[in-house]
Amino acid sequence: MSLLVVGTLALDTIETPFGKEEYTLGGSATFISTAASYLTSDIRLVGIVGYDFPQKELDYFKSRRIDTSGVEILKDTKTFHWHGVYSTDMNHRDTITTDLNALAKFDPKISDKFAKTEYICVGNIDPVIQQKIISQIEKPKLIMIDTMNFWIEGNPTELFKTIKHADILVVNDSEARLLTGDHNLISSAKKIMDMGPKILIIKKGEHGAMLLTKDNVFIVPAFPLEKVFDPTGAGDSFAGGFMGWIDKTKDLSFENLKLAVVFGSVMASLSVEKFSLEGLRNLENETIMKRFKEFKAITNFKEISL
Amino acid sequence: MSLLVVGTLALDTIETPFGKEEYTLGGSATFISTAASYLTSDIRLVGIVGYDFPQKELDYFKSRRIDTSGVEILKDTKTFHWHGVYSTDMNHRDTITTDLNALAKFDPKISDKFAKTEYICVGNIDPVIQQKIISQIEKPKLIMIDTMNFWIEGNPTELFKTIKHADILVVNDSEARLLTGDHNLISSAKKIMDMGPKILIIKKGEHGAMLLTKDNVFIVPAFPLEKVFDPTGAGDSFAGGFMGWIDKTKDLSFENLKLAVVFGSVMASLSVEKFSLEGLRNLENETIMKRFKEFKAITNFKEISL
């Protein structure tokens, strides 16, 4: 088992109705690799940070058996910093500042060892960089790519090139509509799969997630939580849970892809229950399986006949 | 088995991106009773119409074994008429006209036979009328009440009195939030259940429906349809499917309430595939069970252990 995770490593300032945390651990690669580390092993992390990135967080990754040899540390600049404020209903967030810092220089050379990885998860970054990363992988078996509205609107030409290489694309519902100009999610999904990805995941926030292939659909709700403390990283935790399960099982049958979506949803739901990475930082298998069983309970119903 | 259905009988003018139909059969009681008629029998319909209500539609109800003796026909006024226009994305609708006509005089006397019904479904009408209807039922076993933002904002005092009598309340997600002023659906749901109903159903449109009791939650997605022709009546079709199953089975265990929610979702999904009542007008058991099995397929996943 081995999974290559490429994305951002950040120090975030986050304000939600429940509090404020400054320069707390964030970034897509942080959530993806940590979530995946509970399901699979030999996770290979590629990212870039500045001189202010805490050594203890690199040590944390190592404690989760995440290989940090692909993390470049720049001595002359700070770490990528995002400051966001969530609305009272948590459904919107405003960006106060985005200090790219080290991220502006992100153009990773994938090591020989890492280039042999077969399962690849590329978080939401510039699609040009996403392409450069993919081109360095020797024989990828499965590439998952995440993106966002910023790139759909800002650089659709390069994004469409990237999407062609994706076996699995992850977008949220508004991004799916933006990509295709089609309001209906199902016909949108078909159009996106015509662009390249055989597997599409549409995240719907508090409404859950949909998994689509040419012939199948699976829909799982978000876990009903009375308090969502911090939605930051929910989508990346989902991607990490999904790819962790896929890398562990190496089974791309639709039945197993469904389980990957459930594990993605499990990790996302655990992540948002606490600030920053705290919801994922120190989990027991028992906690993960308890939540998995709760997902089963809230979605399962009997077969009957009329 | 017997189910009392009280609500509106209407002639609607509906415009969706797919077409326009004028003075077509509508109203909450129409969708509720028709949807329920595929699951249970001896449905007792209470409503009011004007001189222009087509005899063939009354005959249609009778052909579905719906007792129309509770439908009052006014000779001096027209039938309730609603004219609505749906937005391109179908997520919003504007009301062009609401001609109450006969509905303005709706204050039904429930017949002795009907007053003995145990399972009661009261569609969205004035909460004062809802209370008057409930007070005429001799020994109700289960009362489901639907309402909408119009009454939550317009007459909360009477609505809260009505809600106290409801065993099951049906609202949509924005109405649940409006009722409690609480954005979180789960804590909103708890507050609503404190008002009286032991069972709460929150409809989320294209995102499905939630069933909540004090101790349990069940969530089912909406059926993924590539074309929704006409959302009118979806919520009432849901209520009819739900109560039809409950009346058929007389089983209020949470496992069986789940099945009722699925049958509600099945009937709603079949309803919106065609204009007006056409999606429900002439269904085979086979079609209903095929959709039920499709719901199972899109939500079911295996049990596993880590």
Per-residue model confidence as pLDDT tens digits over B93-145: 999 999 999 999 999 999 999 999 999 999 999 999 999 999 999 999 999 99
Domains located in chain A, CATH noted: 3-299 (3.40.1190.20)
Distance CA A6, CA A29 (A): 6
Nearest to residue A169, comparing CAs of A198, A126, A138? A198
For position B14, what pLDDT does the model report?
96
Token digits of residue B29 = 């009681």
Within 13 Å of residue A104, how many CA atoms lie on the same side as its CB?
8
Residue at A197: amino acid letter = P
* Chain B, nearest residue to A205 by Cα: B207
For position B232, what pLDDT does the model report?
95
Contact A68/A62 with Cβ under 8 angstroms? yes
For position B41, what pLDDT does the model report?
95
Instruction: Mark the ranges of chain A whose per-residue pLDDT is less than 50.
Output: none
For position B29, what pLDDT does the model report?
98
Asked if pLDDT for residue B210 goes beyond 90, the answer is yes
Look at A306 and B296 and tell me if their CB atoms are within 8 Å: no
Within 13 Å of residue B31, how many CA atoms lie on the same side as its CB?
35
Mean pLDDT of B15-30: 95
Distance CA B66, CA B84 (A): 27
Nearest to residue A5, comparing CAs of A79, A82, A77, A61? A61
Strands B142-146 and B119-122: parallel
Query: pLDDT tens, B233-257?
Result: 999 999 999 999 999 999 999 999 9
Local confidence band at B1 (pLDDT 50, 70, 90 cut-offs) = confident
Other C-beta atoms closer than 10 Å to the C-beta of A91 total 11
Residue at B294: amino acid letter = E
Residues 6+ apart with CB under 8 A from B57: B25
Distance CA B145, CA B148 (A): 10
For position B135, what pLDDT does the model report?
97
Mean pLDDT of B142-169: 95
For position A88, what pLDDT does the model report?
84
Query: pLDDT tens, B25-83?
Result: 999 999 999 999 999 999 999 999 999 999 999 999 999 999 999 999 999 999 999 99
* A259: nearest CB among B261, B299, B304: B304
Longest distance between any two alpha carbons in chain B, whole Å: 70
Residue with tokens 């720049």, as numbered in its chain: A74
Residues 6+ apart with CB under 8 A from B95: B82, B83, B84
Query: Dihedral of CA A276/A278/A281/A287: which sign?
Result: negative
Distance CA A229, CA B168 (A): 30
Strands A209-212 and A217-220: antiparallel
Look at B204 and A207 and tell me if their CB atoms are within 8 Å: yes
Look at A90 and B259 and tell me if their CB atoms are within 8 Å: no
For position A91, what pLDDT does the model report?
79
* A305: nearest CB among B289, B298, B304: B289
For position B91, what pLDDT does the model report?
79
Distance CA B271, CA B240 (A): 11
DSSP assignment, residue B104?
A: G
Contact B49/B9 with Cβ under 8 angstroms? yes
* A301: nearest CB among B88, B183, B259: B259
Distance CA B7, CA B122 (A): 6
Query: pLDDT tens, A191-237?
Result: 999 999 999 999 999 999 999 999 999 999 999 999 899 999 999 99
Contact A241/A35 with Cβ under 8 angstroms? yes
For position A180, what pLDDT does the model report?
95
Distance CA A120, CA A143 (A): 5
Strands A43-49 and A3-6: parallel
Chain B residues at the A interface, defined by Cβ less than 8 Å, are 39, 88-90, 183-187, 190, 204, 206-208, 210, 217-221, 224-228, 255, 258-259, 261-262, 285, 288-289, 292-293, 296, 298-306
For position A306, what pLDDT does the model report?
78
For position B154, what pLDDT does the model report?
93
Token digits of residue B19 = 């077409």
Look at B218 and A298 and tell me if their CB atoms are within 8 Å: yes
φ, ψ at A231 (rounded to 5°): -75, -10
Look at B219 and A301 and tell me if their CB atoms are within 8 Å: no
Distance CA A142, CA A2 (A): 12
